Amino acid sequence: MTMPAATADSSSPRWAALLGVTAALAMFGAAQGLSYPLFTLLMQRQGMPPSLIGLSAAMMPLGLVLSAPLIPRAVAAFGAKRLAVGCALTAALCFVCIAALQNWFAWFALRFLLGFIVNPIYVLGEVWALALSPPERRGRMMGVFNALMGAGYAVGPLAMTVVGSAGWPPFIVAICGFLACTVILQLVSNDLRGFDADGQPKMNVLSFARVAPALLLAVLVSASCQQSTYSLMPVFGAAYGLRDAVLAALVTALSVGNIVLQIPLGLAAEKVGARAMIITCATATATCILLLPVLVLTPWVWPVLVVMGGVGYGVYTMALVELGNRFSGSTLVAGNAAFALMWGAGGIVGPPVAGAAIQAAGPLGLVGVIAGLSLFLVSFAMWRSLTRRA
């Protein structure tokens, strides 16, 4: 009779820590989600052309890409908990400087710095979530984790409808989000784990790419497809004569799918395996985007967009589950850092390529890019599975 009680006692801190990490990252997501439309609106008011606004937006993913290879070394030097808390505090200070300066030129450097320092928070949060999730429930737990992250990103822009975009109020919301992230991480820090010695050789981002190329390709494709569709879906819809209100709703439908489908996809991964679900999600993404030109002027476009938003991001969720199933300790940190690098690279490369395709071939250019990337991932993942078995 003592065994169940001991099991419950030992698992309680794990669940509390997992809940704390998820809440902290949701606060982080809300602050991040608010920053994107806020910067765009403020720069438009200052008379900045779209090219400069786009260049400014690229500073954050550039910071993500350049900081990713340094994260394993920073964890070894400072410790994971101290690094995450310090980065969250520095991010809050960045928003104080951004609000105080109100200078678009200074924002270039500050947005780059913001991307550079928030990346460790996200990477470490994922490592903790993977390490704290019981292996038999890792699919659903990462589904919950990413669903709440998606909800956080959606709540951020909604906060602007309450506080507006003028003056200090929206910046205070972002600052409070990062401070809340700091407090929560500090409260649960004693139960955070995931950086214990794993007996595996030390890895960096580049060496990890040789071990799990299919997982990194999945992240690159997911990021490219997600950020291309979110950025260019209004352009796609406008080519078919849709009104502005409907164009905004297209992106909202993608976001809804992103939030509501991660948990069902995670449960499916527990039954059939995360690698099989990567292939399934990528195939579904290609199918949805190929259906869009036929259905865009019909009511069927809404369920297709919801599914597309869910399975498109689901590729990333499934890659995370597979990462947690295969690796631990320092290798898991290197893998998550490599994921961050691929996500940033996808954000930098995907939208410009898709935009150029639309300019060259009309709205079908977006269809070709998303379908082509997704089917390439399917082919590579299946080939990689066959060669690993051999």
pLDDT digits (tens, 9 = 90+) for 18-71: 777 777 777 777 777 777 677 767 776 777 776 677 677 778 878 888 888 888
- What is the rounded distance in angstroms from the CA atom of residue 196 to the CA atom of residue 193? 7
HSE, side-chain direction, 13 A CA sphere, residue 387: 10
Query: Is the same domain home to 215 and 166?
Result: no
Asked if residue 339 is part of any domain, the answer here is yes
Residue 124: its pLDDT value, please? 84
Instruction: Write down the pLDDT at residue 25.
Output: 76
The pLDDT assigned to 367 comes to: 94
Q: Looking at residue 189, what is its pLDDT?
A: 66
Could you say which DSSP state residue 297 is in?
T
170-203: pLDDT as tens digits: 888 888 888 888 888 787 766 565 554 455 556 6
- Confidence at residue 82, expressed as pLDDT on a 0 to 100 scale: 86
Residue ending a domain, among 190, 220, 253, is 190
Residue 136 DSSP class: G
The pLDDT value recorded for residue 201 is 53
Q: Are residues 182 and 212 in the same domain?
A: no
- Residue 186 sits in the same domain as residue 213: no
pLDDT of residue 310: 93
- Residue 54, token pair as written in the block: 């786009």
pLDDT at 203: 67
Q: Look at residues 156, 190, 224 and tell me which one is the last residue of a structural domain.
A: 190
Same domain, 172 and 234: no
Within a domain: 33: yes
Are residues 282 and 333 located together in one domain of the fold?
yes
Task: For residues 290 and 168, state if they share a domain.
Answer: no
Q: Could you tell me if 130 and 155 lie in one domain?
A: yes
Tokens of 227: 């950020």
- pLDDT at 230 (0 to 100): 81
Is 4 within the bounds of a domain? no
CATH number at 152 reads: 1.20.1250.20
CA dist 33 and 70 (Å) reads: 24
In a domain, 38, yes or no: yes
Residue 165 and residue 274 share a domain? no
Q: What is the pTM of this model?
A: 0.82
C-alpha distances in angstroms, 120 versus 28, 189, 269? 12, 15, 27
Ramachandran region, residue 84 (left: φ > 0; alpha: ψ -120 to 50; beta: rest): alpha
Identify the pLDDT of residue 182.
Answer: 83
Same domain, 137 and 70: yes
- Owning domain of residue 327: 205-389
Instruction: State the total domains in the chain.
Output: 2
Residues of the chain with pLDDT under 70: 1-15, 36, 40, 44, 50-51, 54, 157, 189-204, 389-390
- Residue 177 sits in the same domain as residue 228: no
C-alpha 199/C-alpha 202 separation (Å) is 9
